[in-house]
Structure 1
Amino acid sequence: MSPKRIYDDAPKYLVPPDDPTLIQSIQETRDLLENHFNSVDLTSLYLPNDVDKLRSCDFEVRRYLFQTNLNVNQAVQMIKDRLTWRKEMSLDTLRYQKFPIEFYQSGGIFEFKHDNDGDPVLYVRSKFNVNIEILSKPLRQFLIFFMDQMDQRFSRERSWGLVFDAQGFGWHNIDFDFLHLIIKILKYYMPWSVKYVIIYEIPWFLESIWKGVQHFIPEDGKRLIRVYNKKTIGETIDPMNMPQVIGGLSKENHIFIPEGVEPATVIGKIELGLNDEEVNRIKKHLAKLDKEMGELIKV
Protein backbone atom coordinates (compact mmCIF):
# COMPACT_ATOMS: atom_id res chain seq x y z
CA MET A 1 0.00 0.00 0.00
CA SER A 2 1.31 3.45 -0.82
CA PRO A 3 1.85 6.04 1.97
CA LYS A 4 -0.91 8.17 0.47
CA ARG A 5 -3.49 5.44 1.08
CA ILE A 6 -2.45 5.15 4.71
CA TYR A 7 -2.77 8.81 5.59
CA ASP A 8 -5.66 9.99 3.39
CA ASP A 9 -8.42 9.59 6.01
CA ALA A 10 -6.22 9.92 9.07
CA PRO A 11 -6.47 12.59 11.80
CA LYS A 12 -4.81 15.88 10.98
CA TYR A 13 -1.92 15.31 13.40
CA LEU A 14 -0.75 12.18 11.56
CA VAL A 15 2.41 12.75 9.52
CA PRO A 16 4.50 10.58 7.15
CA PRO A 17 7.34 8.51 8.69
CA ASP A 18 10.03 10.84 7.29
CA ASP A 19 8.59 13.97 8.93
CA PRO A 20 11.39 15.73 10.91
CA THR A 21 9.17 16.42 13.93
CA LEU A 22 8.11 12.78 14.06
CA ILE A 23 11.71 11.56 13.78
CA GLN A 24 12.69 13.82 16.67
CA SER A 25 9.72 12.58 18.73
CA ILE A 26 10.77 8.98 18.08
CA GLN A 27 14.24 9.73 19.40
CA GLU A 28 12.86 11.51 22.47
CA THR A 29 10.59 8.56 23.16
CA ARG A 30 13.49 6.13 22.85
CA ASP A 31 15.65 8.25 25.16
CA LEU A 32 12.97 8.20 27.86
CA LEU A 33 12.50 4.47 27.41
CA GLU A 34 16.24 3.85 27.71
CA ASN A 35 16.30 5.80 30.96
CA HIS A 36 13.51 3.59 32.22
CA PHE A 37 15.17 0.38 31.00
CA ASN A 38 18.40 1.33 32.79
CA SER A 39 16.55 1.78 36.08
CA VAL A 40 14.69 -1.57 36.19
CA ASP A 41 15.35 -5.28 35.95
CA LEU A 42 14.54 -5.72 32.27
CA THR A 43 14.36 -9.52 32.20
CA SER A 44 11.81 -9.68 35.00
CA LEU A 45 9.53 -7.00 33.54
CA TYR A 46 9.68 -7.33 29.77
CA LEU A 47 10.49 -9.72 26.95
CA PRO A 48 14.05 -9.12 25.63
CA ASN A 49 12.97 -9.36 21.98
CA ASP A 50 10.33 -6.66 22.53
CA VAL A 51 12.92 -4.27 23.96
CA ASP A 52 15.31 -4.98 21.08
CA LYS A 53 12.57 -4.36 18.53
CA LEU A 54 11.72 -1.00 20.11
CA ARG A 55 15.34 0.01 19.63
CA SER A 56 15.53 -1.04 15.99
CA CYS A 57 12.03 -0.71 14.52
CA ASP A 58 10.64 2.82 14.22
CA PHE A 59 7.09 1.55 13.74
CA GLU A 60 7.03 0.13 17.27
CA VAL A 61 7.52 3.68 18.57
CA ARG A 62 5.76 5.59 15.81
CA ARG A 63 2.48 3.71 16.27
CA TYR A 64 2.14 5.09 19.81
CA LEU A 65 3.09 8.61 18.85
CA PHE A 66 0.28 8.49 16.30
CA GLN A 67 -2.04 7.04 18.94
CA THR A 68 -1.28 9.87 21.40
CA ASN A 69 -1.24 12.81 19.00
CA LEU A 70 2.59 12.96 19.16
CA ASN A 71 2.60 13.20 22.96
CA VAL A 72 5.94 11.65 23.91
CA ASN A 73 5.18 11.06 27.60
CA GLN A 74 1.86 9.38 26.87
CA ALA A 75 3.48 7.28 24.16
CA VAL A 76 6.15 6.09 26.61
CA GLN A 77 3.51 5.02 29.11
CA MET A 78 1.49 3.16 26.48
CA ILE A 79 4.62 1.39 25.23
CA LYS A 80 5.46 0.30 28.77
CA ASP A 81 1.90 -1.00 29.18
CA ARG A 82 2.22 -2.95 25.93
CA LEU A 83 5.54 -4.45 27.06
CA THR A 84 3.99 -5.51 30.36
CA TRP A 85 0.97 -7.04 28.63
CA ARG A 86 3.10 -9.05 26.22
CA LYS A 87 5.14 -10.37 29.13
CA GLU A 88 1.99 -11.32 31.08
CA MET A 89 0.56 -13.06 28.01
CA SER A 90 3.84 -14.99 27.52
CA LEU A 91 3.71 -14.16 23.84
CA ASP A 92 7.34 -15.19 23.46
CA THR A 93 6.46 -18.80 24.28
CA LEU A 94 3.30 -19.15 22.19
CA ARG A 95 3.71 -21.45 19.21
CA TYR A 96 1.34 -23.16 16.79
CA GLN A 97 2.02 -26.37 18.71
CA LYS A 98 0.64 -24.83 21.93
CA PHE A 99 -2.91 -25.28 20.64
CA PRO A 100 -4.84 -28.50 19.91
CA ILE A 101 -5.24 -29.69 16.35
CA GLU A 102 -9.02 -29.38 16.70
CA PHE A 103 -8.66 -25.57 16.90
CA TYR A 104 -7.16 -25.61 13.41
CA GLN A 105 -9.53 -28.24 12.04
CA SER A 106 -12.57 -26.24 13.11
CA GLY A 107 -11.49 -23.36 10.87
CA GLY A 108 -12.66 -20.77 13.38
CA ILE A 109 -9.59 -18.56 12.97
CA PHE A 110 -7.33 -18.60 9.94
CA GLU A 111 -5.27 -16.44 7.58
CA PHE A 112 -6.30 -16.65 3.92
CA LYS A 113 -4.93 -14.98 0.79
CA HIS A 114 -5.02 -11.17 0.44
CA ASP A 115 -7.24 -8.13 -0.12
CA ASN A 116 -7.43 -5.82 -3.14
CA ASP A 117 -4.22 -4.04 -2.06
CA GLY A 118 -2.27 -7.27 -1.73
CA ASP A 119 -2.30 -7.26 2.08
CA PRO A 120 -3.03 -10.46 4.07
CA VAL A 121 -6.36 -11.08 5.77
CA LEU A 122 -7.17 -12.81 9.07
CA TYR A 123 -10.63 -14.37 9.32
CA VAL A 124 -12.56 -15.00 12.54
CA ARG A 125 -15.73 -17.05 12.21
CA SER A 126 -17.87 -15.54 14.95
CA LYS A 127 -20.20 -18.56 15.23
CA PHE A 128 -17.32 -20.53 16.73
CA ASN A 129 -16.91 -18.10 19.61
CA VAL A 130 -19.09 -19.62 22.30
CA ASN A 131 -19.21 -18.32 25.83
CA ILE A 132 -18.11 -21.56 27.49
CA GLU A 133 -15.86 -20.93 30.47
CA ILE A 134 -13.53 -23.86 29.90
CA LEU A 135 -12.91 -22.81 26.29
CA SER A 136 -12.92 -19.02 26.63
CA LYS A 137 -9.31 -18.60 27.74
CA PRO A 138 -7.63 -20.95 25.21
CA LEU A 139 -9.78 -19.70 22.31
CA ARG A 140 -9.01 -16.08 23.13
CA GLN A 141 -5.34 -16.92 23.46
CA PHE A 142 -5.58 -18.62 20.06
CA LEU A 143 -6.97 -15.43 18.50
CA ILE A 144 -4.38 -13.22 20.24
CA PHE A 145 -1.64 -15.53 18.96
CA PHE A 146 -2.81 -15.17 15.35
CA MET A 147 -3.22 -11.40 15.68
CA ASP A 148 0.24 -11.13 17.19
CA GLN A 149 1.71 -13.21 14.37
CA MET A 150 0.30 -10.73 11.84
CA ASP A 151 1.35 -7.70 13.87
CA GLN A 152 4.93 -8.87 14.39
CA ARG A 153 5.42 -10.22 10.89
CA PHE A 154 4.79 -6.95 9.09
CA SER A 155 5.51 -4.17 11.61
CA ARG A 156 4.11 -1.33 9.53
CA GLU A 157 1.05 0.87 9.41
CA ARG A 158 -2.21 -0.70 8.29
CA SER A 159 -0.53 -3.91 7.14
CA TRP A 160 -3.31 -6.52 7.41
CA GLY A 161 -7.07 -6.88 7.46
CA LEU A 162 -9.39 -8.49 10.00
CA VAL A 163 -12.70 -10.04 8.93
CA PHE A 164 -15.37 -11.19 11.37
CA ASP A 165 -17.66 -13.59 9.54
CA ALA A 166 -21.04 -13.23 11.29
CA GLN A 167 -22.85 -15.90 9.27
CA GLY A 168 -24.54 -18.45 11.51
CA PHE A 169 -24.08 -16.18 14.52
CA GLY A 170 -26.69 -16.81 17.25
CA TRP A 171 -27.63 -15.45 20.64
CA HIS A 172 -25.40 -18.05 22.32
CA ASN A 173 -22.39 -16.55 20.51
CA ILE A 174 -22.84 -13.09 22.04
CA ASP A 175 -19.87 -12.36 24.29
CA PHE A 176 -19.32 -8.71 25.16
CA ASP A 177 -16.15 -9.54 27.09
CA PHE A 178 -14.72 -10.99 23.89
CA LEU A 179 -15.68 -7.88 21.93
CA HIS A 180 -14.17 -5.63 24.60
CA LEU A 181 -10.95 -7.66 24.45
CA ILE A 182 -10.64 -7.15 20.68
CA ILE A 183 -11.23 -3.40 20.97
CA LYS A 184 -8.69 -3.15 23.81
CA ILE A 185 -6.03 -5.06 21.88
CA LEU A 186 -6.42 -2.98 18.74
CA LYS A 187 -6.42 0.30 20.66
CA TYR A 188 -3.73 -0.29 23.28
CA TYR A 189 -1.55 -3.22 22.28
CA MET A 190 -1.58 -3.33 18.47
CA PRO A 191 -2.49 0.18 17.33
CA TRP A 192 -2.04 1.16 13.69
CA SER A 193 -1.43 -2.43 12.65
CA VAL A 194 -4.89 -3.36 11.35
CA LYS A 195 -6.05 -1.52 8.21
CA TYR A 196 -9.74 -2.41 8.59
CA VAL A 197 -12.14 -4.54 10.62
CA ILE A 198 -14.86 -6.01 8.43
CA ILE A 199 -18.15 -7.21 9.88
CA TYR A 200 -19.32 -9.63 7.20
CA GLU A 201 -22.97 -10.66 6.71
CA ILE A 202 -24.25 -9.39 10.05
CA PRO A 203 -27.63 -11.03 10.95
CA TRP A 204 -30.64 -8.74 11.04
CA PHE A 205 -31.29 -9.38 14.74
CA LEU A 206 -27.84 -8.09 15.64
CA GLU A 207 -28.15 -4.78 13.82
CA SER A 208 -29.66 -2.98 16.84
CA ILE A 209 -27.02 -4.46 19.15
CA TRP A 210 -24.32 -3.40 16.73
CA LYS A 211 -25.59 0.18 16.74
CA GLY A 212 -25.35 0.20 20.53
CA VAL A 213 -21.85 -1.28 20.54
CA GLN A 214 -20.57 1.48 18.28
CA HIS A 215 -21.01 4.00 21.11
CA PHE A 216 -18.16 2.25 22.97
CA ILE A 217 -15.78 2.33 20.01
CA PRO A 218 -13.40 5.34 19.81
CA GLU A 219 -13.74 7.62 16.77
CA ASP A 220 -10.37 6.50 15.39
CA GLY A 221 -11.58 2.91 15.66
CA LYS A 222 -14.84 3.61 13.85
CA ARG A 223 -12.89 4.70 10.79
CA LEU A 224 -11.52 1.16 10.53
CA ILE A 225 -14.87 -0.64 10.65
CA ARG A 226 -16.66 -1.66 7.48
CA VAL A 227 -19.92 -3.61 7.26
CA TYR A 228 -20.21 -5.74 4.12
CA ASN A 229 -22.33 -8.49 2.64
CA LYS A 230 -21.65 -10.85 -0.28
CA LYS A 231 -22.62 -8.17 -2.79
CA THR A 232 -20.39 -5.40 -1.37
CA ILE A 233 -17.34 -7.28 -0.01
CA GLY A 234 -15.61 -6.91 -3.39
CA GLU A 235 -14.93 -3.25 -2.56
CA THR A 236 -12.16 -4.49 -0.26
CA ILE A 237 -11.62 -8.21 -0.94
CA ASP A 238 -12.14 -9.94 -4.29
CA PRO A 239 -14.47 -12.95 -3.73
CA MET A 240 -11.94 -14.99 -5.73
CA ASN A 241 -9.57 -14.46 -2.80
CA MET A 242 -12.11 -15.51 -0.17
CA PRO A 243 -12.70 -19.10 1.02
CA GLN A 244 -15.79 -20.93 -0.17
CA VAL A 245 -16.76 -21.75 3.40
CA ILE A 246 -17.91 -18.16 3.92
CA GLY A 247 -19.28 -17.63 0.44
CA GLY A 248 -16.11 -16.77 -1.46
CA LEU A 249 -15.06 -18.21 -4.80
CA SER A 250 -11.56 -19.48 -4.07
CA LYS A 251 -11.20 -23.26 -4.39
CA GLU A 252 -8.15 -23.38 -2.14
CA ASN A 253 -8.49 -25.07 1.25
CA HIS A 254 -8.60 -22.46 4.01
CA ILE A 255 -7.71 -24.90 6.79
CA PHE A 256 -4.02 -24.93 7.72
CA ILE A 257 -2.73 -27.53 10.16
CA PRO A 258 0.86 -26.85 11.30
CA GLU A 259 3.34 -29.64 11.75
CA GLY A 260 3.65 -31.14 15.20
CA VAL A 261 0.28 -30.08 16.61
CA GLU A 262 -1.40 -32.58 18.94
CA PRO A 263 -5.05 -33.38 19.73
CA ALA A 264 -6.90 -31.83 22.67
CA THR A 265 -6.40 -35.01 24.72
CA VAL A 266 -2.67 -34.22 24.78
CA ILE A 267 -2.51 -30.42 24.61
CA GLY A 268 -5.34 -29.94 27.09
CA LYS A 269 -3.41 -31.69 29.82
CA ILE A 270 0.12 -30.54 28.98
CA GLU A 271 -0.43 -26.91 27.96
CA LEU A 272 -3.73 -26.01 29.62
CA GLY A 273 -3.45 -28.08 32.79
CA LEU A 274 -6.91 -29.64 32.40
CA ASN A 275 -8.14 -32.89 33.90
CA ASP A 276 -9.77 -35.76 31.96
CA GLU A 277 -13.32 -34.50 32.49
CA GLU A 278 -12.44 -31.00 31.27
CA VAL A 279 -10.60 -32.36 28.24
CA ASN A 280 -13.61 -34.49 27.30
CA ARG A 281 -15.90 -31.46 27.50
CA ILE A 282 -13.62 -29.58 25.11
CA LYS A 283 -13.44 -32.58 22.77
CA LYS A 284 -17.23 -32.81 22.58
CA HIS A 285 -17.59 -29.15 21.73
CA LEU A 286 -14.79 -29.17 19.15
CA ALA A 287 -16.20 -32.33 17.57
CA LYS A 288 -19.45 -30.45 17.05
CA LEU A 289 -17.52 -27.66 15.31
CA ASP A 290 -15.69 -30.17 13.13
CA LYS A 291 -19.00 -31.66 11.98
CA GLU A 292 -20.38 -28.23 11.15
CA MET A 293 -17.25 -27.37 9.24
CA GLY A 294 -17.45 -30.59 7.24
CA GLU A 295 -21.04 -29.88 6.27
CA LEU A 296 -20.19 -26.35 5.22
CA ILE A 297 -17.31 -27.46 3.01
CA LYS A 298 -19.61 -29.83 1.11
CA VAL A 299 -22.01 -27.01 0.20
Structure 2
Amino acid sequence: MDEQSKIDEFRSIVRKAYESDKESFDLDLIELMEKDDWAIRRYLERRKTVAAGAEMLINTLKFRNKYNISQMSDVNFPAEYFKMGLVFDCTKDKQGNDLMYMRHRFYRKFKDLDLIWRQFLIYQMDRIDKKSNRKGMAIIVDLNNISMDNTDLDYARWGMKTFGDCCPISINYVLLYNLPRVMITVWNMVKSLLPKDLAHLMKFCNGDEIFDYVDRKNLPKYLGGDCQLNHYQVPADCLPLEEFGHQKDWSQKHIDKILKTWKPYLEKAENEMKLLQQ
Protein backbone atom coordinates (compact mmCIF):
# COMPACT_ATOMS: atom_id res chain seq x y z
CA MET A 1 0.00 0.00 0.00
CA ASP A 2 1.44 3.40 -0.98
CA GLU A 3 1.58 6.29 1.46
CA GLN A 4 -1.46 8.15 0.10
CA SER A 5 -3.57 5.01 0.34
CA LYS A 6 -2.49 4.61 3.97
CA ILE A 7 -3.43 8.24 4.67
CA ASP A 8 -6.83 7.80 3.03
CA GLU A 9 -7.54 4.63 5.02
CA PHE A 10 -6.34 6.31 8.21
CA ARG A 11 -8.61 9.29 7.61
CA SER A 12 -11.55 7.01 6.93
CA ILE A 13 -11.08 5.12 10.22
CA VAL A 14 -10.89 8.34 12.27
CA ARG A 15 -13.79 9.92 10.42
CA LYS A 16 -15.98 6.86 11.12
CA ALA A 17 -15.12 7.00 14.84
CA TYR A 18 -15.90 10.72 14.92
CA GLU A 19 -19.26 10.31 13.17
CA SER A 20 -20.34 7.74 15.77
CA ASP A 21 -19.44 9.92 18.79
CA LYS A 22 -18.99 13.56 17.77
CA GLU A 23 -19.37 15.01 21.25
CA SER A 24 -16.26 13.19 22.49
CA PHE A 25 -13.91 14.56 19.82
CA ASP A 26 -11.88 17.74 19.48
CA LEU A 27 -13.34 19.48 16.43
CA ASP A 28 -10.31 21.68 15.64
CA LEU A 29 -8.00 18.70 15.20
CA ILE A 30 -10.65 16.83 13.20
CA GLU A 31 -10.83 19.78 10.80
CA LEU A 32 -7.03 19.88 10.55
CA MET A 33 -6.92 16.16 9.80
CA GLU A 34 -9.41 16.61 6.95
CA LYS A 35 -7.30 19.21 5.15
CA ASP A 36 -3.70 18.45 6.13
CA ASP A 37 -2.06 15.07 5.48
CA TRP A 38 0.74 15.92 7.92
CA ALA A 39 -1.77 15.74 10.79
CA ILE A 40 -2.11 12.07 9.85
CA ARG A 41 1.43 11.35 8.73
CA ARG A 42 2.90 12.29 12.10
CA TYR A 43 0.77 9.62 13.81
CA LEU A 44 1.63 7.08 11.13
CA GLU A 45 5.33 7.72 11.69
CA ARG A 46 4.93 7.35 15.43
CA ARG A 47 2.90 4.12 15.39
CA LYS A 48 4.06 2.65 12.02
CA THR A 49 0.72 1.03 11.08
CA VAL A 50 -2.57 2.56 9.96
CA ALA A 51 -4.63 0.86 12.67
CA ALA A 52 -2.28 1.77 15.53
CA GLY A 53 -1.78 5.33 14.29
CA ALA A 54 -5.52 5.89 13.85
CA GLU A 55 -6.20 4.55 17.34
CA MET A 56 -3.58 6.92 18.75
CA LEU A 57 -5.11 9.94 17.00
CA ILE A 58 -8.62 8.95 18.10
CA ASN A 59 -7.42 8.78 21.71
CA THR A 60 -5.70 12.15 21.31
CA LEU A 61 -8.86 13.71 19.89
CA LYS A 62 -10.81 12.49 22.90
CA PHE A 63 -8.04 13.60 25.28
CA ARG A 64 -8.01 17.12 23.82
CA ASN A 65 -11.78 17.29 24.09
CA LYS A 66 -11.67 16.12 27.72
CA TYR A 67 -9.30 18.95 28.60
CA ASN A 68 -11.20 21.42 26.40
CA ILE A 69 -7.95 22.51 24.73
CA SER A 70 -9.39 24.05 21.57
CA GLN A 71 -11.59 26.33 23.67
CA MET A 72 -8.78 27.51 25.95
CA SER A 73 -7.24 30.98 25.87
CA ASP A 74 -4.85 32.89 28.14
CA VAL A 75 -7.73 34.20 30.27
CA ASN A 76 -8.55 30.67 31.45
CA PHE A 77 -5.49 30.68 33.69
CA PRO A 78 -4.44 32.70 36.75
CA ALA A 79 -2.20 35.69 36.08
CA GLU A 80 0.47 34.28 38.39
CA TYR A 81 1.21 31.44 35.96
CA PHE A 82 2.42 34.05 33.50
CA LYS A 83 4.07 36.29 36.12
CA MET A 84 6.25 33.38 37.24
CA GLY A 85 7.08 32.36 33.68
CA LEU A 86 6.08 28.80 34.50
CA VAL A 87 5.79 27.72 30.87
CA PHE A 88 6.53 29.94 27.88
CA ASP A 89 8.02 30.03 24.40
CA CYS A 90 11.09 32.07 23.58
CA THR A 91 13.02 32.21 20.27
CA LYS A 92 14.60 29.10 18.69
CA ASP A 93 17.48 26.74 19.33
CA LYS A 94 20.52 26.30 17.08
CA GLN A 95 18.67 23.71 14.99
CA GLY A 96 15.74 26.04 14.32
CA ASN A 97 13.32 24.33 16.72
CA ASP A 98 10.78 26.51 18.48
CA LEU A 99 11.46 26.29 22.19
CA MET A 100 9.15 25.69 25.12
CA TYR A 101 10.63 26.50 28.54
CA MET A 102 9.42 25.02 31.82
CA ARG A 103 10.49 26.13 35.30
CA HIS A 104 9.99 23.04 37.39
CA ARG A 105 11.17 24.61 40.64
CA PHE A 106 8.04 26.80 40.59
CA TYR A 107 5.72 23.81 40.33
CA ARG A 108 3.81 22.77 43.45
CA LYS A 109 0.87 20.44 43.44
CA PHE A 110 -2.49 21.73 44.66
CA LYS A 111 -5.57 19.59 44.23
CA ASP A 112 -7.83 22.41 43.04
CA LEU A 113 -5.22 23.59 40.55
CA ASP A 114 -4.25 20.18 39.19
CA LEU A 115 -6.67 20.19 36.23
CA ILE A 116 -5.97 23.87 35.52
CA TRP A 117 -2.21 23.29 35.57
CA ARG A 118 -2.50 20.34 33.19
CA GLN A 119 -4.70 22.37 30.85
CA PHE A 120 -2.14 25.18 30.96
CA LEU A 121 0.69 22.83 30.06
CA ILE A 122 -1.21 21.30 27.13
CA TYR A 123 -2.42 24.72 26.01
CA GLN A 124 1.12 26.15 25.89
CA MET A 125 2.51 23.02 24.23
CA ASP A 126 -0.23 23.08 21.58
CA ARG A 127 0.29 26.79 20.93
CA ILE A 128 4.02 26.30 20.34
CA ASP A 129 3.36 23.21 18.22
CA LYS A 130 1.07 25.31 16.00
CA LYS A 131 3.64 28.11 15.88
CA SER A 132 6.20 25.64 14.48
CA ASN A 133 3.64 24.44 11.92
CA ARG A 134 3.77 21.15 13.84
CA LYS A 135 7.17 20.42 12.27
CA GLY A 136 9.71 20.88 15.05
CA MET A 137 9.94 21.99 18.67
CA ALA A 138 12.04 21.25 21.73
CA ILE A 139 11.43 21.56 25.45
CA ILE A 140 13.93 22.91 27.98
CA VAL A 141 13.11 22.01 31.59
CA ASP A 142 14.94 24.09 34.18
CA LEU A 143 15.64 21.82 37.16
CA ASN A 144 17.81 24.25 39.14
CA ASN A 145 17.27 23.88 42.89
CA ILE A 146 14.33 21.49 42.66
CA SER A 147 13.50 19.33 45.66
CA MET A 148 10.99 16.68 46.66
CA ASP A 149 8.45 19.50 47.15
CA ASN A 150 8.48 19.99 43.36
CA THR A 151 8.29 16.28 42.58
CA ASP A 152 5.15 14.55 41.36
CA LEU A 153 5.75 11.20 39.64
CA ASP A 154 2.18 10.93 38.38
CA TYR A 155 2.36 14.36 36.77
CA ALA A 156 5.81 13.64 35.28
CA ARG A 157 4.61 10.44 33.64
CA TRP A 158 1.40 12.10 32.46
CA GLY A 159 3.34 15.06 31.06
CA MET A 160 5.74 13.00 28.97
CA LYS A 161 2.97 10.78 27.62
CA THR A 162 0.93 13.89 26.76
CA PHE A 163 3.86 15.44 24.88
CA GLY A 164 4.37 12.27 22.89
CA ASP A 165 0.70 11.68 22.09
CA CYS A 166 -0.32 15.25 21.28
CA CYS A 167 2.83 16.22 19.38
CA PRO A 168 4.11 12.98 17.82
CA ILE A 169 7.32 13.41 15.83
CA SER A 170 7.27 17.20 16.42
CA ILE A 171 9.24 17.11 19.68
CA ASN A 172 12.88 16.61 18.76
CA TYR A 173 14.24 16.53 22.30
CA VAL A 174 13.52 17.39 25.93
CA LEU A 175 16.52 19.00 27.62
CA LEU A 176 16.76 18.50 31.38
CA TYR A 177 18.96 21.31 32.64
CA ASN A 178 20.95 21.17 35.89
CA LEU A 179 19.34 18.13 37.49
CA PRO A 180 20.58 18.09 41.13
CA ARG A 181 22.53 14.97 42.07
CA VAL A 182 20.17 14.26 44.94
CA MET A 183 17.29 13.96 42.45
CA ILE A 184 18.93 11.39 40.16
CA THR A 185 17.17 8.52 41.93
CA VAL A 186 13.83 10.24 41.37
CA TRP A 187 14.67 10.73 37.69
CA ASN A 188 15.47 7.03 37.34
CA MET A 189 12.02 6.25 38.72
CA VAL A 190 10.41 8.64 36.22
CA LYS A 191 12.43 7.21 33.34
CA SER A 192 11.30 3.68 34.18
CA LEU A 193 7.71 4.82 33.68
CA LEU A 194 8.28 6.31 30.24
CA PRO A 195 7.59 4.49 26.97
CA LYS A 196 10.87 3.60 25.25
CA ASP A 197 10.03 5.74 22.23
CA LEU A 198 9.84 8.79 24.50
CA ALA A 199 12.75 8.04 26.83
CA HIS A 200 15.23 8.45 23.96
CA LEU A 201 14.15 12.10 23.56
CA MET A 202 15.55 13.01 26.97
CA LYS A 203 18.89 14.82 27.11
CA PHE A 204 20.85 16.21 30.05
CA CYS A 205 23.14 19.20 30.32
CA ASN A 206 24.66 21.36 33.05
CA GLY A 207 26.03 24.89 33.23
CA ASP A 208 27.41 26.31 30.00
CA GLU A 209 26.62 23.10 28.11
CA ILE A 210 23.25 24.66 27.42
CA PHE A 211 24.96 26.94 24.86
CA ASP A 212 25.57 23.85 22.74
CA TYR A 213 21.80 23.93 22.16
CA VAL A 214 20.83 27.61 22.32
CA ASP A 215 22.81 30.71 21.37
CA ARG A 216 23.48 33.01 24.31
CA LYS A 217 21.55 35.86 22.65
CA ASN A 218 18.45 33.66 22.47
CA LEU A 219 18.58 32.16 25.97
CA PRO A 220 16.55 33.72 28.83
CA LYS A 221 18.59 35.68 31.33
CA TYR A 222 17.67 33.48 34.29
CA LEU A 223 19.46 30.63 32.48
CA GLY A 224 22.57 32.73 31.84
CA GLY A 225 21.63 34.10 28.42
CA ASP A 226 21.19 37.60 27.06
CA CYS A 227 17.66 37.41 25.66
CA GLN A 228 15.70 40.59 26.41
CA LEU A 229 12.24 39.19 25.64
CA ASN A 230 9.83 39.59 28.54
CA HIS A 231 8.38 36.15 29.24
CA TYR A 232 6.79 37.37 32.50
CA GLN A 233 4.21 39.46 30.64
CA VAL A 234 0.64 38.87 31.86
CA PRO A 235 -1.89 38.75 29.00
CA ALA A 236 -4.79 41.19 29.10
CA ASP A 237 -7.83 40.18 31.17
CA CYS A 238 -6.08 37.37 33.08
CA LEU A 239 -7.33 37.40 36.67
CA PRO A 240 -5.01 37.23 39.68
CA LEU A 241 -5.42 34.04 41.69
CA GLU A 242 -7.56 35.67 44.37
CA GLU A 243 -10.24 36.71 41.88
CA PHE A 244 -9.74 33.54 39.84
CA GLY A 245 -10.29 31.41 42.95
CA HIS A 246 -13.34 33.33 44.10
CA GLN A 247 -14.97 32.72 40.73
CA LYS A 248 -14.49 29.00 41.37
CA ASP A 249 -15.85 29.26 44.92
CA TRP A 250 -12.54 28.44 46.57
CA SER A 251 -12.21 29.43 50.22
CA GLN A 252 -10.08 32.43 51.08
CA LYS A 253 -8.01 30.17 53.33
CA HIS A 254 -7.14 27.92 50.42
CA ILE A 255 -6.32 30.85 48.16
CA ASP A 256 -4.05 32.33 50.82
CA LYS A 257 -2.26 28.99 51.20
CA ILE A 258 -1.46 28.87 47.49
CA LEU A 259 -0.34 32.50 47.39
CA LYS A 260 1.92 31.94 50.41
CA THR A 261 3.58 29.03 48.61
CA TRP A 262 3.96 31.07 45.43
CA LYS A 263 5.25 34.23 47.13
CA PRO A 264 9.01 33.46 46.90
CA TYR A 265 8.59 32.31 43.29
CA LEU A 266 6.75 35.49 42.35
CA GLU A 267 9.39 37.61 44.08
CA LYS A 268 12.18 35.82 42.24
CA ALA A 269 10.41 36.26 38.91
CA GLU A 270 9.84 39.95 39.63
CA ASN A 271 13.54 40.45 40.38
CA GLU A 272 14.46 38.64 37.17
CA MET A 273 12.10 40.85 35.18
CA LYS A 274 13.83 43.94 36.57
CA LEU A 275 17.11 42.68 35.13
CA LEU A 276 15.57 42.89 31.64
CA GLN A 277 15.37 46.65 32.08
CA GLN A 278 19.09 47.02 32.89
TM over 0.5: yes
The alignment's TM-score, normalised by the length of structure 1, stands at 0.84
Partner residue in 2 for 1:93: 71
Q: CA deviation at 1:298?
A: 6.2
What secondary structure is seen at the aligned counterpart in 2 of 1:227? strand
Which residue does 1:7 correspond to in 2?
A: none
User: Is the alpha carbon distance of 1:225 and 1:275 closer, same or farther for their aligned partners in structure 2, counting shifts above 3 Å?
Assistant: same
Question: Whole-Å Cα distance in 2 between the matches of residues 144 and 45 of structure 1?
Answer: 18
Q: Call closer, same or farther: CA 1:77–1:123 in 2, change over 3 Å.
A: same
Percent sequence identity is 23
Cα distance 1:29–1:288, how it changes in 2: closer, same or farther (>3 A)? same
2:156 to 158, 168, 179: 179
CA distance in 2, matches of 1:291, 1:148: 28
Letter in 1 for 2:140: V
Candidates 23, 36, 43, aligned match of 2:4: 23
**Mapping for residues 93-242 of structure 1, pairs under 5 Å:** 93-157=71-135, 159-242=136-219
Structure 1 letter corresponding to 2:75 = Q
Tell me the alpha carbon deviations over residues 196-244 of structure 1, each in whole angstroms, 9 at most, x when there is no partner: 1000011111123323432332332233211011221122111221111
Establish whether residue 64 from structure 1 lines up as the match of residue 61 from structure 2.
no
CA distance in 2, matches of 1:59, 1:203: 39
Q: C-alpha separation between the residues in 1 aligned to 2:132 and 2:249? A: 33
Amino acid at match of 2:9: E
TM-score (normalised: structure 2):
0.90
Does the 8 Å CA contact 1:128/1:289 hold for their aligned counterparts?
yes
Cα drift, residue 297 of structure 1: 5.2
CA distance in 1, matches of 2:120, 2:264: 18
Instruction: Please give the alpha-carbon distance, in whole angstroms, between the structure 1 residues aligned to 2:2 and 2:213.
Output: 33
Segments of structure 1 that go 5 or more residues without pairing to the other structure are 1-19
Distance 1:232 1:256, change over 3 A: same
**Secondary structure of residue in 1 paired with 2:5:** helix
**TM-aligned CA deviation for residue 273 of structure 1:** 4.3
Task: Answer whether contact 1:59 1:155 (CA < 8 A) is retained.
Answer: no
- Aligned partners of 1:60 and 1:155 also within 8 Å: no
- Structure with the bigger percentage of helix: 2
Q: 2:2 aligns to what SS in structure 1?
A: helix
The 8 Å contact of residues 93 and 213 in structure 2, kept in 1 or not, is answered as yes
1:251 aligns with 2:228: yes
- Partner of 2:140, secondary structure, is strand
Residues 134 and 278, structure 1, Cα contact 8 Å, conserved in 2: no
Q: Which SS does the other structure have where 1:123 is aligned? A: strand
Structure 2 counterpart SS, 1:92: helix
Report if aligned partners of 2:98, 2:132 keep a CA contact under 8 Å in 1. Answer: no
Q: 1:196 to 1:111 in 2, by over 3 A?
A: same
**What is the count of residue pairs matched by the alignment?**
275
- 2:7 corresponds to which letter in structure 1? I
Note closer, same or farther for the CA distance 1:256–1:194 as it changes in structure 2 (3 Å cut). farther
Distance apart, 1:31 and its partner CA? 1.9
Alpha-carbon RMSD across the aligned residues, in angstroms, is 2.1
Query: Which amino acid in 2 is paired with 1:56?
Result: K
